[in-house]
Structure 1
Amino acid sequence: MTLYFAFLATLIISLASGQNFNYNQVNIRPGTYGSNPSENRIETFPWVVAVLDQRDWLFRYIGVGSLIKPNVVLTAAHILNETIADDLLVRAGEWDTSTTADQQHVDLEVLNIVSHEQFNRFNAENNMALLILVSAFEMTAKINIIPLYLGEANIREGSCFFNGWGKVYLNSTDYPTVLKTVQVDLVSIDMCSRRLRRNLPVQICGEGLEGKDCSGDGGAPLVCQILTYPSKYAQVGIVNWLSQVPGVNTPTVYTNVLVLLPWIHYQLRLGANFRPRS
């Protein structure tokens, strides 16, 4: 079934263009993320946002994104389909979608959608989009940004993971209401290309689902620990696609953030992306 989020009206705060952030502003306690959602807290993953389709006031969950500036979300282009900015809502600070009792989340509407001009639906290359928000989220313990991986240091082996509200099991119709965590082991692109029998020159591959699903996790940030910054994390990829074969541990493919970093920086400097639509 489709996952619908409970809705809570929120106060819209003033527009801000954001500022530059670095690795030092993210400090995850090692070992606090795992496969059991009850062991996690939203403070541990404050950059994870839900992307909602708010048409007809149904607030339907369509994917995940990451907060890379207080007013900018990074996600996958494929989850947006034919939606326009007015159709979308971004929810930050969410943990359990089945309740609004804690009133911890904040909703903001989308000012502009900036999808990569060379996104290819057939091979999933350049599967990236930015959601420019109508205003900026206030940074708190539960809502904060994730730095982007700059490639200046190695990634710690076994430290990568992504979060989302997507399905857990293949052929299931149920979506979890509590934010899940999936640990990912990166594999070489050559090995991945051989196993999937297709060329993947500018993407990232990882294992870890072991026959499970990631439908609904499109756009989720793949986050890893950076060796030169102990206990610091950065986003290295975006959940892109999975070849679903029950019982077979096929790799999951992620958009490579480092490769597309120049595109991100260019779009963030482009003033037209932050202007209200005429």
Structure 2
Amino acid sequence: MTLYFTFLLPLLISFAIGQQYGHQLQPARNPSQSGTEKFPWVVAVLNKDDLITVYIGSGSLIKPNVVLTAVHILNDIPKSELLVRAGERDRSTPQDQQHVDLKVLTVVRHEQFNKYSAENNVALLILESEVEITRNIQTIALYANGAQIQAKSCFFNGWGKEKWDSEDYPTIIKKTEIDIIERNSCQRQLGRPISYLQFCAAGLLGKDCSGDGGAPVVCRTIANPSGLVQVGVVNWGSRKPGDNKPAIFTDVYSLRGWIDYQLRLPTNFAAK
């Protein structure tokens, strides 16, 4: 199974935040505390058949029974072969955390996803059951409106590659920091317009990050710097050494209408 990565979006450095405070950062109980508890909204999306389980990307827990991810990582995998793992830190061992594996009830792919431009690269995985919210498994609020974000406070997490020349995918969840770029500046650097469904960010020079497709991009807000809110989703792509052009990410705010509509449809939550 191919591993993918993503970048997305045109962002005004002023966003608005829906759930006003988002995820509240909690101080670690001790200095050696697991990194998973810093990113408890991040889940691993797995392709599981009779013989092997393969990591295909990341996602975010936006409700106890709903995961937001990217369409492209799912390909045509049937829902019966998809598995969501919450509370994961180290994919190489089951001993590091009390992670939970959840089966998928419904896969909702954005019907206007463009595989060439990565527009509308969002999907929802409706889970068969709600996950129990614990210290290392929590939801993340989606960006909506209300407060400005700190443009240089953003990052995403996943188990994708870290460096351009790396051949291995890390087993321990990593953090990749990015700086959001104003839309007009981004378009000048790229030499072309970008969709309003996307935003730009810098900070991936020399980083590959293949395998981070679907990973949530989160930022702090100016009004509540201890809180985090999801503003984007990672697409695919890479940054070769020397290539300092901005990366493009999916803009969650521009797709909130589609997301909220799908979450209101009873048929998405009914067994088929």
TM-score of the aligned structures, taking structure 2 as reference length: 0.87
- Assess, with a 3 A threshold, how the Cα gap between structure 1 residues 2 and 84 changes in structure 2: closer, same or farther: closer
Runs of 4+ in structure 1 over 6 Å off = none
- Asked if 1:97 is matched to 2:91, the reply is yes
- Assess, with a 3 A threshold, how the Cα gap between structure 1 residues 24 and 151 changes in structure 2: closer, same or farther: closer
- Asked if 1:154 is matched to 2:151, the reply is no
Which residue identity is paired with 2:93? T
- Assess, with a 3 A threshold, how the Cα gap between structure 1 residues 2 and 266 changes in structure 2: closer, same or farther: closer
- Assess, with a 3 A threshold, how the Cα gap between structure 1 residues 82 and 55 changes in structure 2: closer, same or farther: same
**Could you tell me how far apart the structure 2 residues matched to 1:162 and 1:171 are?**
20
Report what 1:213 is aligned to. Answer: 208
Q: Secondary structure at the match of 2:115?
A: coil
Report what 1:88 is aligned to. Answer: 82
- Asked if 1:27 is matched to 2:24, the reply is yes
- Asked if 1:256 is matched to 2:251, the reply is yes
5 Å matches for 1:1-278?
22-24=19-21, 26-29=23-26, 41-202=35-196, 203-277=198-272
5+ unaligned residues in a row in structure 2: which ranges? 4-17
- Assess, with a 3 A threshold, how the Cα gap between structure 1 residues 54 and 134 changes in structure 2: closer, same or farther: same
Note the alpha carbon deviations across 1:86-126, whole angstroms, 9 max, x for none.
11000000001111123511000111100111111111101
Of 174-183 and 240-249, more deviation after overlay is shown by 240-249
**Could you tell me how far apart the structure 2 residues matched to 1:232 and 1:119 are?**
31
Q: Which has the higher contact order (CA 8 A, sep 6+)?
A: 2
**Could you tell me how far apart the structure 1 residues matched to 2:230 and 2:20 are?**
10
- Assess, with a 3 A threshold, how the Cα gap between structure 1 residues 233 and 117 changes in structure 2: closer, same or farther: same
Q: Secondary structure at the match of 1:264?
A: helix
5+ unaligned residues in a row in structure 1: which ranges? 4-20, 33-37
- Assess, with a 3 A threshold, how the Cα gap between structure 1 residues 96 and 107 changes in structure 2: closer, same or farther: same
**Could you tell me how far apart the structure 2 residues matched to 1:120 and 1:46 are?**
30
**Could you tell me how far apart the structure 2 residues matched to 1:24 and 1:251 are?**
28
**Could you tell me how far apart the structure 2 residues matched to 1:182 and 1:45 are?**
12
TM-score of the aligned structures, taking structure 1 as reference length: 0.85
Note the alpha carbon deviations across 1:5-29, whole angstroms, 9 max, x for none.
xxxxxxxxxxxxxxxx944462115
- Assess, with a 3 A threshold, how the Cα gap between structure 1 residues 99 and 2 changes in structure 2: closer, same or farther: farther
Of 264-273 and 169-178, more deviation after overlay is shown by 169-178
Q: Secondary structure at the match of 1:245?
A: coil
Which residue identity is paired with 1:220? A
**Could you tell me how far apart the structure 1 residues matched to 2:111 and 2:168 are?**
34
**Could you tell me how far apart the structure 1 residues matched to 2:157 and 2:138 are?**
15
The number of aligned residues is: 254
Note the alpha carbon deviations across 1:179-238, whole angstroms, 9 max, x for none.
000111001222223333332122111111121112100100000011222311100000
Contact 2:214 2:235 in 1 (8 A): yes
Contact 1:166 1:214 in 2 (8 A): yes
Contact 2:20 2:146 in 1 (8 A): no
Contact 2:208 2:238 in 1 (8 A): no
